[in-house]
Amino acid sequence: MTTTKRHLLTAAAALAVCALSSAAFAQTALEAVQKAKLIKIAVPTDFPPYGFVGVDLQPQGLDVDMAKYIADKLGAKVELVAVTSGNRIPYLQTKKADLVISTLGKNPEREKVINFTAAYSPFFQAIFAAKSLSVKSLADLGGKSIAVTRGAIEDQELSKIAPAGTDIKRFEDNNATVSAFVSGQTQLIATGASVAGNMMQRNPQLGTEYKLLLKDSPNFIGVAKGEDALRLKVNEIIAAAKKAGDLDKMSQKWLGRPAGNLPE
């Protein structure tokens, strides 16, 4: 047998396997979940406080809580699938996961390949400082020192809106920015929700709290194309959770700020 022929045969066999497996998936994801009482949800494990591995080696965080919450409302057990930002959409496309709850922002490029539910949690760049420091509006930043990572989105936003007289200290990377704030070299810090959440968890003695918003880009749950039944069901759950205040509770627990007004 020539190599070409062998390749053709392999390809044919592969096609046959694909056809069979897609036949197995002919039922909708929602039906499959309800039948098996098991839902596979992709969560991050490298992105505190949204998803990370705790000291007990179990995944935890806002996204993990949300995954458990949704599974619970669907009456199913949850199987958490660890993903990274690079592979979370392929996991959904190849049905290795039914849902992706992994700090997924919505944009037109992504909407071409997957669908999104309503937003479930905020992601934002904001200004944080100790509770004892009074910062009610942007004008209050004048004369205060604030650490920010040079060139990051929060640097761009802050440079645009900070009043004259704000002492903006720019650092090389997030670690240096956080160190500067934690060691008391600056009074405030402007950074992303994940960095701030992580920092607050590790340094509870600082009593850091959320002060002012710089930029909002909420997280959505990703659903595979064609799984509208599941998407609508999840939307129902999110809407109910929002009403019951559960989304706010989760956000407060992990990010130090209520979920606020999330887009549908």
Instruction: Summarize as ranges the residues that interact with another protein (CB under 8 A).
Output: 147, 150-151, 155, 169-172, 176, 179-180, 183-185
Q: Which is nearer to another protein, 157 or 246 (CB)?
A: 157
Nearest 5 degrees, angle CA 108-CA 114-CA 118?
A: 80
Min dist CB 181 to another protein, Å, is 11
Min dist CB 203 to another protein, Å, is 12
Min dist CB 192 to another protein, Å, is 16
Q: Which is nearer to another protein, 31 or 172 (CB)?
A: 172
Distance CA(165)–CA(194), nearest Å, equals 28
Alpha helices in 119-207 (DSSP H): 153-161, 174-182, 193-202
Contacts of 206 (CB under 8 A, 6+ apart): 130, 182, 200
Nearest 5 degrees, angle CA 96-CA 82-CA 215?
A: 110
Min dist CB 215 to another protein, Å, is 17
Distance CA(39)–CA(251), nearest Å, equals 23
Q: Which is nearer to another protein, 126 or 152 (CB)?
A: 152
Q: Which is nearer to another protein, 75 or 151 (CB)?
A: 151
Min dist CB 238 to another protein, Å, is 37
Q: Which is nearer to another protein, 117 or 186 (CB)?
A: 186
45: Cα separation from own chain's centroid: 11
